[in-house]
Amino acid sequence: MDMSDSISAALHTMKLINGATVIYRRGNQSVELVGVRGQSKQRGYNADGLEITWQSHEWTFHSDELELAGTVITPTRGDTIEETIDGQLRVYAVTHLNPAQQPYEWEDFRGLVTRIHNVLQSVT
Q: Which tens digit of pLDDT belongs to each residue from 49-83?
A: 888 877 778 999 989 999 999 999 999 999 999 99
Average pLDDT over residues 88-94: 94
Q: How many domains does the chain have?
A: 1
Structural domain containing residue 63:
3-123
Consecutive H or E run containing 18: helix 3-18
What does the pLDDT read at residue 51? 86
Predicted confidence (pLDDT) per residue in 10-62, tens digit: 777 878 888 999 999 999 999 999 999 988 777 777 778 888 877 778 999 98
pTM of the model: 0.82
Consecutive H or E run containing 92: strand 88-94
What does the pLDDT read at residue 4? 83
